[in-house]
Amino acid sequence: MHIPDGLLPSSVYISGYAITGGVTWYSLRQIRKKSNPQAEIPQASLLTAAFFVSSLIHIPIPPTSIHFVLNGLMGIVLGYYAFPAILIGLFFQAVMFGHGGIAALGMNAAMMGIPALLASSVFRFSNPLERKQKTWTGICAFIAGSGAIALSASIFTLVTLATISDSIDAQAERTITLLALGGYGIQALLEGIFTVMVVSFLVRVKPELLDC
């Protein structure tokens, strides 16, 4: 789902950096309001590593393949820490493996990070932990996990189709992008199920990790 360098006009990449800069500033501002902002850095680092490694595990879904993004799960567990964590993970993915690129870093961070923050808001607004109902907690976790990746895929598709450069075969790129939507639908389902599994486990063994 990474947008590569050179695919879109420069103005889109600049806009991506502007959006990412603003959201990063807001997230860090909210983090600083916590009584002990450093307390959650270890779990943020752990999930940043998981986000980084997940890009290397590909699941073949003909005619393409997918890999877990985990932005919904990161939003649920990390709250406002999720956006800078995703930004850092994407930076290392671009530098070390060429996933995305430095020019596209801002757009990719906004595309994956903003849905993570929305997933966090949806999960906490529904207040599943206070209700102490396993079924409701699972439903909220599934919506947050699958919804985050579905929103990221929608942003990717809309931005790509609306602003694709004239220097490449736009029709072929549109066809490939639309075909990939089927894979993203399956990915959203898988990520929703995986998010439910992880959240259910954390509720049993360490529910304080979900109180961000």
Rounded mean pLDDT, 51-55 = 79
Domains of the chain in sequence order: 10-210 (1.10.1760.20)
DSSP 71-85: HHHHHHHHGGGHHHH
Query: What pLDDT shows up at residue 115?
Result: 96
Which pLDDT score is estimated for 192? 92
Q: What is the pLDDT of residue 206?
A: 81
> Are 56 and 100 in contact, with CB atoms under 8 Å apart?
no
* Residue 78 to residue 119: CA distance in whole angstroms: 11
pLDDT band at 80 (very low <50, low <70, confident <90, very high): very high
- pLDDT for the residue numbered 76: 92
Average pLDDT over residues 59-86: 82
Amino acid at 210: L
Q: Which of 39-43, 108-112, 126-130, 160-164 has the lowest mean pLDDT?
A: 126-130
- The Cα-based distances of 119 to 18, 168, 195 in angstroms read 22, 35, 11
Q: Which residue has the tokens 């939003």?
A: 75
pLDDT at 69: 87
Does residue 66 carry a pLDDT above 70?
no
Residue 113 has pLDDT above 90, yes or no: yes
Give residue 98's pLDDT.
79
Bigger pLDDT: 109 vs 161: 109
DSSP assignment of 175-202, as one string?
Answer: HHHHHHHHHHHHHHHHHHHHHHHHHHHH
Q: Which residue has the higher pLDDT, 72 or 187?
A: 72
Evaluate if residue 24 carries a pLDDT over 60. Answer: yes
58 three-state secondary structure: strand
pTM of the model: 0.85
Residues 36-51 have a mean pLDDT of 86
pLDDT of residue 175: 65
User: Are 112 and 152 contacting, i.e. CB atoms less than 8 angstroms apart?
Assistant: yes
Mean pLDDT of 75-91: 93
pLDDT at 145: 93
208, pLDDT greater than 60? yes
β-pairing, 58-61 with 64-67? antiparallel
